[in-house]
Amino acid sequence: MGQVSINENVMDLTDEGPRLKGMHCKNCGNHVFPMQKGCPKCTSDDVEEVQLGTRGTLWAWTIQGFPPKAPPYLGETDPEKFKPYGVGYIELPGQLKVESRLTVSDPTALKNGMEMEIVGEIIGQDEDGNDLVTFAFAPVA
Amino acid sequence: MSDDVAIVGIGMHPFGRHEGVTGMEQGAIAIRKACADAGIEWSDLQFAFGGSVAAGSPDHMVSQMGLTGLQFINVVNGCATGGSALISAYNTIKSGAFDIGLAIGFDKHERGAFRVSTGKAGERDWYGGSGMALTTQFFGMKINRYMEEYGISQDSLARVSSKAFRNGSLNENAWRRQAFTEEEVLQSQMLSYPLTQYMFCSPGEGGVALILARADQAHKYTDKPIFLKSAVVRSRRYGSFEVLAPSLALDYADGPTVDASKAAFEAAGVGPEDIDVAQLQDTESGAEIMHMAENGFCEHGEQEEMLARGDTEITGKLPVNTDGGCLANGEPVGASGLRQVYENVLQLRGDAGKRQVPNNPKVAYTHVYGAPGISGVTILST
């Protein structure tokens, strides 16, 4: 039993951590996450899958203060055990802003513009007992 | 300005939680009240547009209302479902196809935040599974950024909620009728920073029916016809900041609210300065603040002072959400946009009782915003 990506169509789990798979439009250069088959900016369908950047800056954030409903949530939903977590948009230079969990849940430790990088976070287990890993962004140390 | 569509009858089933009453039954009750208000029978209606997101196909209502053979079309359009039913009815009358018809919206949602499932068949739902896909997070992020950018304080968020519950306490159809102080709002549980529990509306239940007729026939049904000057729905453009978006563009564009608002003002031939009362989407208190500017009623950042002055109170310069808004009424998605129009009809008729806006308001505005990045606006006049 090991660690597996929460969904291989949107995220590869490498030895260096999660890598997001996005759409790159060959016609206008636009990016979208996750991969899709048409570009919402220029309407072209001449698109390809690319790996998105792993570092960026925080653009907007909040703290999830109550357990989301399951389904669809795979994490802890027991109000007694639930721990708040950050959610934000990280601006990946030249690509897009990606929505992500944040490893920080203290509002005084988050500020728009701060440098962040992608890390893996175990969110639950699959049917075979493997850890399901999703992506999160953490402040660059 | 054309005066070709009038609202001649309105009916509402109270919003809230109604154990043992289906969403559709609440819709049927609203229709019977609207027919009584217009002095007509169900059999007089030539067409209907019905909106519901979670409470069944509206056209099934004909089996309890009466099998008259009318044209009945269902509308599902995210948070603008009710508004879209109204726009469809409006355009149907404008087109000349029919003379009198119905826009009906109702809904019944489970308790707690909306459950959003985004998974594709055969794939794990990574978005909701990872703890995103909550509408509440979007609202938290948007207002958090906005407060920093335009100097809006948390006290202003509390002021908006406190006003909503105060107005709701004057509304017999509202769900939340207990007034809360700003302190109580601030002290309630932090749900999605910087928004607390009493700053959020809840998914709920209810139904609203509106009867529309050709303006030149309106006086057959009512002494106080209210004219629908414009009704507009817009979807998002590339670069706007929307709810339930796993990624956003680096470019920035205004949201659909700005587009819908401009188009509605243009079609009605009036401007923000002409509006006497406004119902603005207040999914949470920050949304009302941002929507004041996005709908053209002020510049970004001016809201702080306007709220401190009480400009948006019932007795203020621009009364906003006089019936308590989504905050006090909850949000049954199919009915929510129609509730706003119902309230404005009451206000323009002078029938809003304890929450009546003074000095005979003449022009009124409604605005909805919601998933997946859609907005609907109407302008009514006496």
ipTM rounded to 2 decimals:
0.97
Cα–Cα distance for residue pair A78/B272, rounded to 1 Å: 47
Per the document, the length of chain A is 141
Residues of chain B with pLDDT under 70: 1-3
Q: What is the pLDDT of residues B257-309, one digit of tens each?
A: 999 999 999 999 999 999 999 999 999 999 999 999 999 999 999 999 999 99
Q: pLDDT value at position B1?
A: 36
The answer, for A119 touching chain B at a CB cutoff of 8 Å, is: no
Handedness of CA B137, B139, B142, B147 (dihedral sign): negative
Q: Tell me whether A50 touches chain B (CB under 8 Å).
A: no
Number of domains in chain A: 1
Nearest to B115 among A32, A69, A97 (CB): A69
> Would you state the pLDDT for residue B3?
57
Amino acid at B49: F
Task: Describe the strand order of the beta sheet including B5-16 as a list of residue ranges.
Answer: B71-75, B47-51, B100-108, B205-214, B5-16, B226-235, B374-381, B363-370, B277-280
Q: Which residues of chain A have pLDDT under 70?
A: none
The residue segments making up the domain with residue A134 are 3-139
* For testing contact with chain A, the best of B120, B126, B130 (most A CBs within 10 A): B130
What pLDDT is stored for residue B2 in this prediction? Answer: 47
CB contact under 8 A, A134 and B189: no
Q: Which of A99, A119, A127 to mutate to test the interface with B (most CBs of B within 10 A)?
A: A99
pLDDT mean across residues, chain B:
95
Query: Cα separation of B209 and A138, whole Å?
Result: 50
Q: pLDDT at position B127, please?
A: 97
Q: In angstroms, what CA-CA distances link B234 with A41, B44, B317, B377, B378?
A: 17, 32, 28, 9, 12
Q: How far apart are CA B242 and CA B237, in angstroms?
A: 10
Domains in chain B: ranges and CATH: 5-112+200-381 (3.40.47.10)
Dihedral (CA of B212, B216, B222, B226) sign? positive
pLDDT given for residue B114 in this prediction? 79
Closest by CA to B304, choosing from B176, B168, B183, B146, is B146
In angstroms, what CA-CA distances link B17 with B56, B190, B209?
17, 24, 18
What is the residue-wise DSSP string for B102-124?
A: EEEEEEE--SSSPP---PPTTS-
| Chain A residues closer than 8 Å to B195 by CB | 62
B113 Cβ contact partners less than 8 Å away, ≥ 6 residues apart: A66, A68, A69, B134, B135, B136, B203
